[in-house]
Amino acid sequence: MRNRLRTLLAPPEFPSEEKTRIARQLNGIYLTTVILFLGLVGVFALLGYPASTPAYYIFSGLAALIIILWQVMKRGHLRSTASIFLGICYIGLGYIAWDQTGVHDTGLIAMTALILLASVILGQAGTIVVATLAILAAWGLAYAELAGIIDPFVDTPSSTAIYMTAVFIANSVFAYLLVNNLNASLRRAQSSEASLIESNRELTELRENLERQVEERTAELSRTTVKSQRRAQQFEAVAEVARATAIEHDPTRLLPVITTLISEHFGYYHVGIFLLDQAGRVAVLRAANSAGGQKMMKNKFHLTVSDQDLVGQVIRRGEPQIALEADFNYPDLPATRSEAVLPLQTGERVIGALDIHSDMKNAFAQDDIEVLSVLADQVAIAIENSRLFSETTQALIEARTVYGQYLRQAWEKLPEETGLTGFRYSGGEPEALERPLDLPEISSAIQAGRPVAYKDETPAFAVPLTLRDEVIGVLDVRATDPSHRWSESQLALVQAVAER
């Protein structure tokens, strides 16, 4: 029973927190007003008021109407029921004042409670409207009393006390609700302020985090961009070295070009190339780009392959070595602050070392070593290809020399074996020659290895006969007319015949 009554009297709950708050206030106001009106009816009955007293019907009827509004309010009609409630109370109190003591009636004073109630449930606009209506009611009653429209009477002290008690109770309840509403608004404002401060703090932290992330990403992007640009320069150096090795095969010209390219593209102030001697015990500086390196080459700088220095360690072990913060002792390279040495090897055989010096501390990173290792392998291959090219060229020259000697000796033996030294044609039958002709143009063509035009008594033109770049004879043509001049077409014809 108690739970059912509690459920019946409990205020409704709505999804909106603000609507639920207003519903709780209206629920308390309606119940308080119903109890107050019914209490007044009970007091009148206890005091022996006659049943014909209008207050019985007015307060009972108001209580019944408010109960109906209370039930409608629970269905979500808050503002409309509150407005109707204030209207009913205003009409009821106005009628009581009109019927009894006029402008002096406690019903008119009770309208102050309506003003307080309006401020609680209807806000500023509702308060102004109710206050205006209360003022109009006071002036209307005063006018009616002065004009003799109503004939007020003086109420008994007990009735006045009862009405005033009800007014005080109503004002107290409504004032309490107003103060409670203000306190709730203040708490909400404070809570909102605290939430706003917390939100601002979180936003500030978020902004700082975003700014920090942007700075970190910007710095990372800048580092990546610099790294990418440096890597592009490094690969450009690799491509330049590849082009240089494809064009130049002479080591004496190729190695200085390689050191210069590496220095320019990587930004290292000294690049040197050491090559092992034939015994593999001494590393000789063969190329360098810096002035100090050139001076070392002029002094025939070399190192014994051992673990006493970085170049010797790299050649012995076949692995790159880096010195970033060592005490360097290079009289000709005093600006060195970092050094990297990479082996030059073809297959498993180390043929030398690529020695790189920087004037900056900690100048070599792992990425640099990887690219430089690729470059060192390319340089080693270029050196080996250059060596093979030189050996092949020398072997070809020697083969050509031997073949030329053999060919010359074979043609020199031919006259001895056949008894013929050549043929001569003078308009009749070809004539075999038993002895070589001793003519000046023939001697000149053999010595020069090219066609010779000659003129004494008759114009002559001698073209050497070559086989494998060896002169094996001469085609000699003489004109019968002493005044003859060789035309370009005649000379070309003689050379074409000689080539065949």
Q: What is the 3-state secondary structure (H, E, C) of 244-301?
A: HHHHCCCHHHHHHHHHHHHHHHHCCCEEEEEEECCCCCEEEEEEECCHHHHHHHHCCC
pLDDT at 272: 93
Tokens of 171: 């004002």
The amino acid at 347: G
143 compared with 241, residue with greater pLDDT: 143
Q: Residues for the chain: how many in total?
A: 500
Q: Using alpha carbons, select from 46, 125, 132, 37 the residue that is nearest to residue 88.
A: 37
Q: How far is it, in rounded angstroms, from Cα 380 to Cα 245? A: 11
Q: What average pLDDT does the structure give for the chain?
A: 79
427 compared with 337, residue with greater pLDDT: 337
pLDDT digits (tens, 9 = 90+) for 281-335: 899 999 999 999 999 999 999 888 887 888 888 998 888 988 887 778 888 998 8
Phi, psi at residue 392, to the nearest 5°? -65, -45
Query: What percentage of the chain carries pLDDT values higher than 90?
Result: 6
Phi, psi at residue 123, to the nearest 5°? 85, -160
Q: Are strands 282-288 and 422-424 parallel, antiparallel or unpaired?
A: unpaired
pLDDT at 401: 67
205 compared with 54, residue with greater pLDDT: 205
Residue by residue, DSSP assigns 172-198 as: HHHHHHHHHHHHHHHHHHHHHHHHHHH
pLDDT at 35: 86
User: 273 falls in which pLDDT band (50, 70, 90)?
Assistant: very high
pLDDT at 251: 77
DSSP code of residue 352: E
Residue carrying structure tokens 């106001």: 29
pLDDT at 271: 92
pLDDT at 144: 85
What are 139-144's contacts with CB under 8 Å, separation 24+?
141/94, 141/97, 141/98, 141/102, 141/103, 141/105, 141/108, 142/102, 142/103, 144/98, 144/102
Sign of the C-alpha dihedral computed for residues 361, 367, 371 and 372 taken in this order: positive
Q: How far is it, in rounded angstroms, from Cα 31 to Cα 9? A: 8
pLDDT at 341: 92
Q: What angle do CA 10, 11, 16 make, to 5 degrees?
A: 145
CB contact at 8 A, 339 and 362: no
User: 390 falls in which pLDDT band (50, 70, 90)?
Assistant: confident
CB contact at 8 A, 131 and 116: no
Q: How far is it, in rounded angstroms, from Cα 220 to Cα 226? A: 10
Tokens of 73: 């309010």
Q: How far is it, in rounded angstroms, from Cα 387 to Cα 96? A: 129
Q: How far is it, in rounded angstroms, from Cα 176 to Cα 29? A: 11
pLDDT digits (tens, 9 = 90+) for 130-175: 888 888 988 988 888 888 887 776 666 766 676 677 667 766 776 7
Rounded to the nearest angstrom, the gap between the alpha carbon of residue 24 and the centroid of all alpha carbons in its chain is 56
pLDDT at 343: 92
pTM over 0.75: no
Q: How far is it, in rounded angstroms, from Cα 404 to Cα 481? A: 38
Burial class (CB in 10 A: 0-12, 13-18, 19+), 369: middle
Q: How far is it, in rounded angstroms, from Cα 355 to Cα 368? A: 14
pLDDT at 445: 67
CA gyration radius, the chain: 62
Phi, psi at residue 283, to the nearest 5°? -100, 120
Q: How far is it, in rounded angstroms, from Cα 195 to Cα 190? A: 8
Return the exposure string of 384-405: e unless at least 16 CB atoms fall within 10 Å of the residue's CB, then b.
Answer: bbbeeeeeeeeeeeeeeeeeee
pLDDT greater than 90 at residue 270 = yes
What are 93-97's contacts with CB under 8 Å, separation 24+?
94/137, 94/141, 95/54, 95/58, 96/54, 96/55, 96/58, 97/137, 97/141
pLDDT digits (tens, 9 = 90+) for 433-490: 666 666 777 677 667 667 777 676 677 777 777 766 667 677 677 776 776 776 777 7
110: which residues sit within 8 A by CB, 6+ positions away? Answer: 93, 163, 166, 167, 170
SS3 at position 233:
helix
